[in-house]
Amino acid sequence: NTTVTKLAMAWALKNDNTTVIIVGGRNAKQLKPTFECLDVVEKLTDEVMKDIEKILENKPVRDEKVYGSFGRFVRNFRKISKL
């Protein structure tokens, strides 16, 4: 039970290929739903992520020719815990 927006934000947070997520709003009230996506992140297990990527057929692939290992580090937000 979530919104498409929260699911998209949570998916982007857990995706190792995401470098940055830019959010915005005119006021704090508009940002509240954005930060509520952190509740969804906890529910996106590796299995759920694979299911989403299979359904959408859009699993990102890292292009080693572009990125290589220069300036790139591996981070794993799949282990985010609630603040």
67-82: average pLDDT: 55
Q: How far apart are CA 43 and CA 22, in angstroms?
A: 22
Q: What is the pLDDT of residue 82?
A: 52
Q: What is the pLDDT of residue 43?
A: 92
24 near 51, Cβ under 8 Å?
no
Flag whether the pTM goes above 0.85.
no
Q: What is the pLDDT of residue 62?
A: 66
12-42 residue pLDDT tens: 888 877 778 888 889 989 888 888 888 999 8
The helix (run of H) or strand (run of E) holding residue 29 is helix 28-35
